[in-house]
Amino acid sequence: MIPEQPSHRDLMDLALAEAKAALATGDVPIGAVVIGPDSTVLATGRNEREAHGDPTAHAEIVAIRAAAQALRDAGRGDGWRLEDCTLVVTLEPCAMCAGAIVLSRIPKVVFGAWDEKAGAVGSVFDILREPRLNHWVEVYPGVREAECAALLTDFFRARRLD
């Protein structure tokens, strides 16, 4: 019997929890989760740019690095190809993160809110489905979009009031 796959909506719960945890360090509340081929959580990540002073510490990058390490530690594959994994993230990935998704060979991305200013999965660019690249990704956009967008809107509204 094949185990039941968690729904995209359920997986977004995990990413939203990571996004909320980013608030503790003053980071923009974006969360990401990498789900392994067996539907278990391989790794999580949240924005950590403020926490670590690292401009590349986006939620997706943090989660991808942790997932690659988890695969290496488990002796599965070569550790950097995240084939058969799913990335779930609360905001449409930017160009840097989309590039990392392609390079790590993640085949499926689920995201919540669109990023009309810097999104690279359909808003500004569409890197994940660029036909000239060597890897293409299935994309499931707008999962729990209102909740994901509200978290960001509330964060930036509060920052403007400070």
Catalytic center residues: 60
94 is in an annotated binding site: yes
Q: Are 84 and 37 in contact (CB under 8 A)?
A: yes
Distance CA 35, CA 33 (A): 6
Is 52 within any annotated ligand binding site?
no
Alpha carbon 73 to its chain centroid, in Å, reads 21
Question: Which residue, chain included where needed, has tokens 């390490």?
Answer: 69
- How far is residue 161's CA from residue 19's CA, in Å, rounded to a whole number? 21
Burial class (CB in 10 A: 0-12, 13-18, 19+), 149: middle
Helix spans in 23-161 (H)? 49-52, 59-74, 95-103, 145-161
- Residue 85, marked binder: no
**Annotated binding-site residue numbers for Zn(2+):** 58, 94, 97
**Annotated binding-site residue numbers:** 58, 94, 97
